Structure 1
């Protein structure tokens, strides 16, 4: 067997044996990650990152400097609701986002509404159902 055929065969076997993630696995990983993040600060910038697939980005200013947060997986309604100048915070082991602005003081639960299948997967996710 020639070296190229052998290398191709090994590559194909490796590809087939790789663990494949389902949409449910992807959803659960995203929720898990967001559940364990903590952040707070004042929104100083928000934009769609055209260089990175139009990701929904929010820049927070806090005591540690600036913090870049990706809101791509949240519903567009939440991203649009947030305004420059809002103070936001999220505690670790929570999916509640505290939003404060001059005329508003509210808590919004992160909804992951921009992930395909969220309606189906969210009911069984242990972090959302807490």
Structure 2
């Protein structure tokens, strides 16, 4: 390589050995399928002559299926029997068009029911007042 290129060492989390030693400039494909789901750290150390640089990047990996839970929130105080709706599905990242969460059945929010009821009540009022015999 040329004398104007730096050498970079890539480390994942607290591993003592680098996952790659590369000459810059380069495009490197980080394979996250070899990492567990959760928080990770990418540490990049660059060396150019007797100088050294450091960059640390925190990132989350989620290769596993998405888990959706309805009926219980994080840090919620509960009692009695809880009906939980639980679903796990893959994101289908290989497709070009994805409606995120479309595979996941969800209950209709309360505000939608309220709007529907108000509209139905208004419609009934309108019919009764304008078309009564």
More helix by share: 1
The structure that has the greater radius of gyration is 2
Bin for the TM-score computed over the shorter chain: under 0.3
TM score, norm. by length of structure 1: 0.22
TM-score by length of 2: 0.21
Q: Which has the higher contact order (CA 8 A, sep 6+)?
A: 1
